[in-house]
Amino acid sequence: MKKIVFLVLILAVATTCYAQEKIVVFHAGSLSVPFAEIEQAFETQYPQYDVTREASGSRAAARKITDVKKPADVMASADYKVIDNLMIPNDAKFNAQFATNEMAIAFTEKAKYADQITAENWPQIFLKEGVKVGHSDPNMDPCGYRSMLVTKLAENYYNIPGLFDKLFGYGDSYQSGEENKSKVIVRPKETDLLGLIEAGMYDYLFIYKSVAEQHHLKYLTLPEEVSLKSAEFADQYEHATFKINGKKPGEWITKKGGPMVYGITVAENNICPANKQGAVLFVKFVLSEQGQAIMQKNGQGVINPAVISGDPSILE
C-alpha cells in the first residue's frame, strides 16, 4: 500500500512538473499593460513556456506567496521595498530594481471642476463640497500609501495646514472601513478604480502617471517635490510618513516617502526545476533591452542596468 501511495505521489509531482512549462507571474496592477506585451514577446522567443499573470496590489501579491503559500514563479512589485520587507530572505533571494514611475491625479470630463483644476489648485478643489476622490488600499497596494504620502507632501508644498486630515482623516494609518464614504472611495488596487471613474462614480483618482496614460485619462502632472518621481528630492520625500500593516497582526511598517522604484524577483516556492529556469528567463527578459523598451513604450522609466540586491547569481 505504501509503495502505491509513493508511486502516486511521484506521478503527481511528475505530472505537475510536466505541466510546469507554465510560468506564474504575480505582479502589481500598474504593470498589467506592459507585462501583457512582455508576456507575448517572451512567449514568442521562448515558445516552450506559457506565462500566466495575476495582477493585484503589490503587498497583496507578496502575501499570497508568503502567507497563503500560493504557487508563483515571479513576483513584480510597484515598490521594491515590498519584496525586501515581506519576501526576503525566505521567499525570495534577490531583488532587482528595474523601473520607475510617478504619482499623478487622473480624471475625466465628468469630474466636478474638471475645467478649473490645475497642478497648482488641486488641493483646494479636492476639499470642495461634493468632490469625491479615489485611492487604493494602503495596506494592499503601494499606490495607496503613496497617495497618502503625496497628500502629506502637498500639505507642506502648497502651505495648506490640515489638508491630509480634512481630506482623509486617517491619522497615521488606515484600516478598511475608516474612509469618509461621502468624500473618499477605496478599492484594493488602483486599477480596480478605473472603471468607476470612467463611469463618473467619483471625480479624481490618485494613480501612477503610466496607468493614466495607458487608459487615456486626463491627468495632472504634479510638481516633482510631491510626485515621488525624482531622486533629487529624496531627502524631502522622507519627511512624509504613513503606517501600514506589518508581517504579523498588530505589527506596523512605517513607510517613508521616496522616489518610486519597482522591483522584481523569482519566488522561492517553485515545485520543479523547470519552473525556476523559466522564472529566471522571464526576469532576465524583463531586464533586457527588449523588456525595457516595452516598459518605456507604456510610460514608465527604466533603471539600466537594474540595481540588484541579495544573491544576483540566481540570474546567471
Average pLDDT over residues 115-134: 97
Average pLDDT over residues 113-140: 96
- Per-residue pLDDT at 251: 86
Average pLDDT over residues 134-157: 95
The residue type at 311: D
In this predicted structure, the answer to whether residue 150 has a pLDDT above a threshold of 70 is: yes
In this predicted structure, the answer to whether residue 181 has a pLDDT above a threshold of 50 is: yes
The pLDDT tens digits for 52-97 are: 999 999 999 999 999 999 999 999 999 999 999 999 999 999 999 9
- Per-residue pLDDT at 274: 66
Residues β-bridged to residue 77? 263
User: How many beta carbons lie within 10 A of that of residue 201, not counting itself?
Assistant: 13
| Rounded Cα–Cα distance for residues 153 and 257 (Å) | 9
CA dihedral sign of residues 298, 303, 309, 311? positive
Residues β-bridged to residue 100? 261, 301
- Per-residue pLDDT at 273: 65
| The three grid cell numbers given for residue 162, joined into one nine-digit string | 490640515
Give the rounded percent of residues in the chain with a pLDDT score beyond 70: 92
| Rounded Cα–Cα distance for residues 280 and 94 (Å) | 11
Model pTM score: 0.86
- Per-residue pLDDT at 272: 65
Q: State the SS3 of the chain.
A: CHHHHHHHHHHHHHHHHHHCCEEEEEEEHHHHHHHHHHHHHHHHHCCCCEEEEEEECHHHHHHHHHCCCCCCCEEEECCHHHHHHHCCCCCCCEEEEEEECCEEEEECCCCCCCCCCCCCCHHHHHCCCCCCEEEECCCCCHHHHHHHHHHHHHHHHCCCCCHHHHHCCCCCECCCCCCCCCCEEEECCHHHHHHHHHCCCCCEEEEEHHHHHHCCCEEEECCHHHHCCCHHHHHHHCCCEEEEECCCCCCEEEEECCCCEEEEEECCCCCCHHHHHHHHHHHHHHHCHHHHHHHHHCCCEEEEEEEEEECHHHHC
Total residues found in the chain within this entry: 316
In this predicted structure, the answer to whether residue 127 has a pLDDT above a threshold of 50 is: yes
In this predicted structure, the answer to whether residue 99 has a pLDDT above a threshold of 90 is: yes
Smallest Cα–Cα separation from 269: which of 88, 84, 70, 96? Answer: 70
In this predicted structure, the answer to whether residue 170 has a pLDDT above a threshold of 70 is: yes
Question: Residue for cell digits 519566488?
Answer: 267
* Domains within the chain, CATH numbers bracketed: 2-100+261-315 (3.40.190.10), 103-256 (3.40.190.10)
For 68, 197, 310, the CA distances from 29, given in Å and listed in that order, are 19, 16, 25
The pLDDT tens digits for 200-231 are: 999 999 999 999 999 999 999 999 999 999 99
CA dihedral sign of residues 163, 167, 169, 170? negative
Average pLDDT over residues 176-189: 83
Residues β-bridged to residue 136? 187
| Rounded Cα–Cα distance for residues 21 and 31 (Å) | 22
The residue type at 193: L
The residue type at 129: E
The pLDDT tens digits for 2-59 are: 444 444 444 444 444 545 489 999 999 999 999 999 999 999 999 999 999 999 999 9
The pLDDT tens digits for 188-204 are: 888 889 999 999 999 99
Q: Which range among 113-127, 158-172, 202-216 shows the weakest confidence by mean pLDDT? A: 158-172
- Per-residue pLDDT at 18: 46
